[in-house]
Amino acid sequence: MVKKLTIIQKASIFAILAAALYALNMPFAKLLLAEVPPLTLSAFLYLGAGLGMLLLRLFSNRTKKEKISPIEPEERPFIIGMILLDILAPALLMFGLRSTAAANASLLNNFEIVGTSLIALMVFKESISPKLWIAITLVTVSSILLSLDTSAAFRFSTGSLLVLGASLAWGLENNFTRRLSNRSSSDIVILKGLGSGLGSLLLAIATREAFPQLWLIPVTLVLGFVAYGLSINYYVKAQKELGAAKTSTYYAFAPFIGVAFSLLLFPGKPNLSFWLGLILMGVATWFLINDSIGVQHTHEHTHQHLVTRMTAQGPKEVAETYTHSHFHAHENESEEYHEHPHS
């Protein structure tokens, strides 16, 4: 008899799947950079994510006719910050990737975990359990070990610093997204993709980047849909249950998957540091699996339901249905640490 997965186990699978899909970004973006300028590439990657999720949502909601939830006033600063950071981060990554090996960039991108977790703790007061601290430490040590030992590729060059800057920008952006994770994951991907994609495209036009060959545009859009759109979608689903800090720690899988893809496209032999880092990552994963999500959730939760309102369209009133979410707090403080399904 197959044991049914818990809410937390499903969220963990979503986080790992998000990491695996995002890992495709580094090596394939490196290939595309030979023909597509950095800002233009980041623009079409995010447009692919937004347009792909929008079409997927329209296709799946043909019978429901459900619309994107109206933007609440308290959400606006986080949406604006999320979009601006999603313009900055991929631009830094693409410029850095031009002068950095794809495998090296995959490893450096692991610093996103550190940035996300520290910002979640210090700025947004998100709880981090002792086991999660151990996992974060092991991931960090593994990243440093891999970075320092890959002497043939690793160096604190301008390209490496740009990739690190992108990781830190995404760390802050992850926490902004966390403030919006009461919205549906497709809502967030559509906002991210279309907003950041159009912003990056305007920036590319303003800086007079050369336009790529037409056949490269659909290729880039598809990569953006898979590596950014579907990845972000699963990431947000995971964040709803795990929180920003813990979800970002599962992204420890992404650099190693990225290295594997990079070595297939840009052949090379892994050295001893790769295997040592893999062992440390395995130990970190053990702590993640055995960590209780109870310390991640306080007594505040999201409740989501459908709302129907009447709007005037000419002489008639038309019913519009959309998803609405709000926070609910337990009055009983003894329920601060616990584990149960959320929706």
Mean of the per-residue pLDDT values of the chain: 75
Looking at the chain, the whole-number percentage of residues with pLDDT higher than 70 is 70
193 and 310 in a single domain? The answer is: no
d(CA 11, CA 242): 7
How many residues does the structure list for the chain?
Answer: 343
Band (pLDDT 50/70/90 cuts) for residue 293 is very low
Band (pLDDT 50/70/90 cuts) for residue 313 is low
pLDDT exceeds cutoff 50 at 126:
yes
| CB-CB contact of 106 with 220 (8 Å) | no
| CB-CB contact of 119 with 240 (8 Å) | no
Looking at the chain, the whole-number percentage of residues with pLDDT higher than 90 is 19
44 CB contacts (<8 Å, ≥6 apart)? 36, 197, 201, 217, 220, 221, 224
At 34-81, the pLDDT tens digits run 899 999 999 999 999 999 989 888 887 655 555 666 777 888 898 999
Lowest mean pLDDT among 12-21, 102-111, 316-325: 316-325
Distances (CA, A) of 276 to 156, 279, 287: 22, 5, 17
325 and 234 in a single domain? The answer is: no
- Position 67 scores a pLDDT of 62
209 and 254 in a single domain? The answer is: yes
- Position 132 scores a pLDDT of 76
63 and 43 in a single domain? The answer is: yes
184 and 36 in a single domain? The answer is: yes
152 and 193 in a single domain? The answer is: yes
Residue 88 DSSP one-character state: H
pLDDT exceeds cutoff 70 at 216:
yes
- Position 139 scores a pLDDT of 74
312: domain range? 301-331
> SS3 string of 65-80?
CCECCCCCHHHHHHHH
| CB-CB contact of 43 with 200 (8 Å) | yes
240 and 267 in a single domain? The answer is: yes
219 and 142 in a single domain? The answer is: yes
- Position 296 scores a pLDDT of 41
Band (pLDDT 50/70/90 cuts) for residue 341 is very low
Lowest mean pLDDT among 89-98, 116-125, 280-289, 320-329: 320-329
Give the count of domains, the chain: 2
Residue 192 lies in a domain: yes
Residue scoring higher pLDDT (148 or 302)? 148
Residue 282 lies in a domain: yes
- Position 333 scores a pLDDT of 38
Q: Where are the alpha helices (DSSP H) in the chain?
A: 7-23, 25-32, 38-60, 76-98, 102-108, 111-122, 130-149, 158-178, 185-206, 216-224, 231-242, 244-250, 253-265, 272-289
Instruction: Select, from the ranges 87-101, 210-224, 247-261, the one with the highest average predicted confidence (pLDDT).
Output: 210-224
Q: What is the pTM of this model?
A: 0.68
198 and 320 in a single domain? The answer is: no
91 and 223 in a single domain? The answer is: yes
d(CA 46, CA 36): 14
289 CB contacts (<8 Å, ≥6 apart)? 12
